[in-house]
Amino acid sequence: MGALDRAQEDIACGEPWRARNRLSSVLEQEPASQGALDLLGYAYLAMDDLAAAGAAWFLTDRPDEDPDVTPALKALATAYPDPLALARALPIRAPSSAYPPRARRRLAILGSRVRASGQEWEPPGEVHFFEQDGVDVEAFREWPTTVATTRSGIRVVAAVLVVAMLAGASIAAVITLLL
């Protein structure tokens, strides 16, 4: 019997706090586990913590119209009217790409609300590529563009490297003779 089965039994036996603890452990190992997040929502619902249930179900693919989910999401929004506080209340421990499409849409909307409020937040582990972050190519044009027109600088560097290699080889030869 796995942790999810035991958590389900805990809820059925009227011990939702045990289920919450088990499911928290599962989510440490599998941060986007849909089964664990769904059961965690039910555990919080059984503990009469509607906002926490909404936070768990926020990260699932459960529809907003679900009769259990609707009041939980409303309670979450009421408990955390500030978008950044709501984002921090979520049990999110994985990049948004690890969650199902409906959860990703919710996270994207939440992220835009956070930005609209003048704050910054992103799910943990998000990967950004330069083209997403908007690297300003024009900024690179400000760099000095002077390039040596002769190869003398390259020859000097090459000569220094050759001398350094010969010196290293000479030192190694002397040490081996002394030993």
| Pick from 122-126, 131-135, 148-152: least confident | 131-135
In this prediction the pTM is: 0.69
* Percentage of the residues of the chain whose pLDDT score is greater than 70: 85
Tokens of 97: 């790409």
pLDDT in tens, 66-85: 999 999 999 999 999 999 99
Residue 177: the pLDDT is 82
pLDDT band of residue 144 (cuts 50, 70, 90) is low
Residue 159: the pLDDT is 79
| Pick from 2-6, 93-97, 168-172: least confident | 168-172
Report d(CA 138, CA 161) in Å as an integer.
Answer: 36
CA angle 18, 101, 117 (to 5 degrees): 85
Cα radius of gyration (the chain): 29
Q: Rounded to the nearest 5°, which phi and psi values hold at 166?
A: -65, -40
Residue 60: the pLDDT is 97
pLDDT band of residue 141 (cuts 50, 70, 90) is low
Q: What is residue 81's DSSP assignment?
A: -
Q: Where are the alpha helices (DSSP H) in the chain?
A: 3-12, 16-29, 34-46, 50-58, 69-79, 83-89, 101-116, 130-133, 137-140, 152-178
Domain boundaries, the chain: 3-127
Question: Rounded mean pLDDT of 115-124?
Answer: 89
Question: Rounded mean pLDDT of 138-167?
Answer: 68
